Structure 1
């Protein structure tokens, strides 16, 4: 395993939509292992492939390791099948936007379908921080960073803090 360099905004790769992974190969398993090691070393709770320069639809996350037991998740070719109508506005940091935290509105609960490292399709209901983390990482796969989710005024303030 290896700790990979994390791209920071405004690297153009962070604004690109990723392509599907398809078959789970040994290369994908190695990428997932490296991404988990990188995420924990950062230290973050989620990391998407474009953040390490790989434009494929895969992310890793561990919503609870900072406050409880580690529960790493590898999510390949995900789809969000459902989002709750209830939303939560809260602080989000991003490893690709170091040093700033933005207030983002996200669904409180989602149903996520994805392929796991065994090549099996999984459907999982996520709530609370796990749902928020998955939505944040899913955004990265579509070339969206938290700055894109802000009003023009809030984005100007966040960018001013970021570029200081």
Structure 2
């Protein structure tokens, strides 16, 4: 397994719509494992392939309590149903380090995806898991959580990140890679 560099906004690769995978083969399963390792090291609770520069419809999520691991590995996740009731949640993102804001999303969802063994699965989710999955699917469609905010708030956050990237060129690089330099 390998730690992957995480793209930091505003990077144009984060705005690309990801392509579906035909099947979860050994290469895609390895990508999922590398993404999990990267997500845990960051640390985060979700990561989409476009965030590591891979334009494939692949996400990993783990909202388990600290010290536990129960990851979901998903290829081609598709929301089949979303509740009409919405809930606000303060979201953050590994591609927008140290930036948080409230986003409203459907409280419950049902989705279909291919798991890491190329099996079709369906899942109903609510709470943090539903929010996290919707956030990661947004990445697959070239959307960031700041795209749900007012243009004023979004531009403030993106300007702040541009300054951070200029001040710290290693922003988004795996900690192990930075430590090795």
**Pairwise TM-score range, normalised by the shorter structure:** over 0.9
CA drift of 1:163 comes to 4.2
Q: 1:17 maps to which residue? A: 17
Q: Deviations over 1:13-56 (max 9, x none)?
A: 10000001111111111101100000000000000000000000
Q: How many residues align?
A: 163
What are the superposed Cα offsets for residues 108-150 of structure 1, whole Å, 9 maximum, x if unpaired? Answer: 1100100011111111000100000000000000000011111
> 2:72 maps to which residue?
73
- Which protein shows a greater Rg? 2
RCO higher in 1 or 2 (8 Å CA, sep ≥ 6)?
2
Structure 1 segments of 4+ aligned residues over 6 angstroms from their partners: none
Aligned 1:87-106 pairs, distance under 5 A: 87-106=86-105
Q: Contact between 2:92 and 2:101, CA under 8 Å: does it hold in 1? A: yes
| Structure 1: unaligned runs, 5 residues or longer | none
**Could you say what the CA RMSD is over the residues aligned between the two structures, in angstroms?**
1.3
Correspondence for 2:174 = none
Counterpart Cα distance in 1 of 2:46 and 2:140: 12
Q: Is the 8 A contact 1:99 1:162 kept in 2?
A: no
Alignment of 1:45-84 (within 5 A): 45-66=45-66, 69-84=68-83
Conservation of the 8 A alpha-carbon contact between 1:45 and 1:65: no
Say if 2:132 is the partner of 1:133. yes
SS of residue paired to 2:96: coil
Where does structure 2 lack aligned partners over 5 or more consecutive residues? Answer: 164-181
- For the residue of structure 2 that corresponds to 1:98, the secondary structure is strand
